[in-house]
Structure 1
Amino acid sequence: MIDNTEHIKTIVLKNQEANTYAEVDLSFGAALKNLVLQGETIISKHNKKPFASSILFPFPNRIKNGEYKFNDELYQLEKGSPDIDSHNAIHGLVFNKNFTIERQTENEIALTYSQQTLEKGFPFTFDISVTYTLTMSVFHIEVVVVNTDSKAFPFALGWHPYFETSNLENSELAIKSTEKFLVDDRMIPNGKTAINWNDFETINNQAFDDCFKLSSNEIQLKTPDYQIKISSSSKNNYLQLYTPEDRQSMAIEPQTAPANCFNTQEGLQILQPDDVYKLQWTVELEGK
C-alpha cells in the first residue's frame, strides 16, 4: 500500500494473520517508522526523535570536525545543526534522501537511491539499495552499496533504530563485549576501557551514550513485553547505545565501525570502482 501526501510517502508491509506490519518512509532515507511483530510494538511511528531508524552511510555517528583525509587529500563534510551537533559531521549522508521503489510484493520492498552529484566532503557517486522483508516474526534488512564512481571511497554502515519498552529500568540487554570506547566532550572516541559484558544485564537507571566493540554478531533485548534478537552479517561489529531522556525507548545501533572511523580507520572499509558491498540485519521476535 502506498500513501502519498505532499510531504510523506510511506510503504506498509503487512501480515494480517499474524498482526505483523512495518511502515517505511521513502521520503526520509527509507527509514523504518513502525514495526509490529505478532502484536508487539517493537519500533513506534510515534517516536519522532532525530535520525530514528535511519540508515547511516557512508559513516555512522560522527566525524571529528567534519574533516578527514583520504588518499592524501583533505575533505570537509557538512557539520550537523546547532540543536544536534554543530561541531562534527553526523550520521552520514543518506538519512534525508528520497528513495524510490525498485520492486514491491506484499511482504517485501526494495528501495534505491542513486548519488549522481558530488556531495560536499564526499565527492563520489554511488547507488544504495535497502530491501525490507517481513515474515510473521522476523524483519530482515539488506543494504547493498555499489561504487559507481571511477575512484575508490571509504565507508562504513550503521542503523539507528529506537526500540520501544514499557519499562526501560526492567528491560535487559545481552551483548558480548570486552571493550567500551571513551569519548571527549564532543563525543569523539579518544581511547578504550576494558569491560566484561557477556550476558543479560538489567538496564536499571543506567544512562547510555556509549559505543562497544562486539565479539559477537548478535544482540538480545528483553523488555517486559517482548524479547528480540538482532543479528548482523558483518565481520566487524560495533554497537552504539543511547537512552533518551524520556526513557520510553532505547537506541540500539548496530554499526560496522565506531565514530570518527574516517580518521582512525578502525572498522573502515574501502569500496573500489564497480565493487558491491552487502550487509544484512535481522530483527527476530523470540519466544512466540
Structure 2
Amino acid sequence: MSIINLRSGSLFLRLSTMGGSILGFWKDDGKHRVPLLRDAPDDADALSSSCYPLVPFGNRVRDNRFEFAGQEFRFSANTSWDPHYLHGEGWQSEWAVEEQADEHVVLGFSHRGEGTPYIYRARQQFSLKDGALELKLSVQNDGSKPLPFGLGWHPYFPMTPQTTLLAPARTFWTEVEGWLPGEATELPADLDFRRPSPLPHRWVNNGFQDWSGEAVISWPEWDTQLHLTADPLFRHAFIFVSDTAFDPQFRRDYFCFEPMSHLANGHNMPDLGGLQVLQPGQQLSGSIRLRPQAIEHTNVL
C-alpha cells in the first residue's frame, strides 16, 4: 500500500493505493481548512475512507445471479457481513501507480474472475486542476464474452447540523429486505432534493433514477459549498445515511451521495437499468468533478 499526496493551489488530495481510495480532500487557504470529503486515516479500509470506486458495477444483484444472452451467471459474497457480492472488486484491491505528478495520478488494477464472471481491467485518474478535483474511471472487458458493465463512486461527505443537498432526480427506489431495491415510485417529501434540503434523521439507503448530473452540498457553518457535476453516463445516484442500529459508532457526521451509471440490481431488469454491454476488448469510462466555492450571501435591503 502506498499513500499519495496531490496539491494544486488551496486544494489538497490524499490517496491510498489500497482500494484506489481517497483518504481526504480539503480546501486550505492558510486561514481555514475545510474538509470536502470526510477525513480518513492512512490505514483506512474502503468503508472507512473518503471515497472509493465502484467497478465493474456498483451495489448488489438480487440472489447473486442474473441471466444474460441465454446463460446464467452467479456471484460469491465478498464480505463477511453481507450475503451479496457487493460493489465489485475495486474497493478491495491493491491498485498500481501507473502515472504520477504533483497534480495528477493514474491508478490501475486487473481482475480475473474469482467469485464473479467478470474479467476486466480498470483505471482511475485523479486530477487537481482549475480549482476542482476531477475523477475519471474506466473499465475494459478483458473476458471472452460480452457482459453488462457499470461504473460509479462511493463518496462520504461531511454532515454538519446545517448541511443541505441539492440533487434533482425524477424517480425514487424503495428498499426491501437484504438492502435491495424494491420498486420505483414518487420522491418522498423528506428525500426530494430538487431544492436544497437537509438529510433526514433516519436510515436512508435508496436509489434515485434520472438524476440531473448536478449536485450541490452546502455547509453554511463553513461558508462553503461543493458543486458536483457528472458526465451524462452517470444518470443515477444512490444516497446513504446510516443509523446506530446498523453502525453503533454512527454520529451523524457523514452521508453518501453516489453517482452511478446504472440502477442497483440492473442485471435483473429488462433494460439492464443503465448497465452497458461491453464486447471483449471494449471499454466504458466517465468522469465527475468536485468544485468547492464560497456560499454567496444575498443582502436584503
Calculate the TM-score normalised by the size of structure 1.
Answer: 0.87
SS of 1:151's equivalent? coil
- Asked if 1:153 corresponds to 2:161, the answer is no
Pick closer, same or farther for the CA change 1:128–1:137 going to 2, 3 Å.
same
Deviations 1:123-157 (A, max 9, x none): x4322110100136311101122223332121111
In 1, the alpha carbon distance for the partners of 2:175 and 2:288 equals: 27
Query: Does the CA-based 8 Å contact 2:46-2:92 persist in structure 1?
Result: no
Map 1:1-288 to 2 at 5 A.
8-15=1-8, 17-18=9-10, 20-26=11-17, 28-38=18-28, 39-43=33-37, 44-46=39-41, 50=47, 52=49, 53-83=51-81, 85-86=82-83, 88-115=84-111, 117-122=112-117, 124-135=118-129, 137-165=131-159, 167=160, 169-195=161-187, 197-203=193-199, 205-223=201-219, 224-225=221-222, 226-244=224-242, 245-264=250-269, 265-287=272-294
SS of 1:62's equivalent? coil
SS of 1:160's equivalent? strand
How far apart are 1:118 and its partner, in Å? 3.0
Point out where structure 2 has 5 or more consecutive residues left out of the alignment. Answer: 243-249, 296-301
Calculate the TM-score normalised by the size of structure 2.
Answer: 0.84
In 1, the alpha carbon distance for the partners of 2:233 and 2:120 equals: 22
Pick closer, same or farther for the CA change 1:74–1:254 going to 2, 3 Å.
same
Structure 1 range deviating more: 255-264 or 104-113? 255-264
How far apart are 1:65 and its partner, in Å? 2.0
The ranges of structure 1 where at least 4 consecutive aligned residues each deviate by more than 6 angstroms after the TM superposition are none
Point out where structure 1 has 5 or more consecutive residues left out of the alignment. Answer: 1-7
- Report the residue type matching 2:252 in the other structure: R
- Report the residue type matching 2:284 in the other structure: Y
In 2, the alpha carbon distance for the partners of 1:256 and 1:179 equals: 15
In 2, the alpha carbon distance for the partners of 1:82 and 1:286 equals: 40
- Report the residue type matching 2:267 in the other structure: F
Aligned-residue sequence identity (percent) comes to 18
- Report the residue type matching 2:52 in the other structure: S
Structure 1 vs Structure 2 CA RMSD: 2.0
Aligned residues: 272
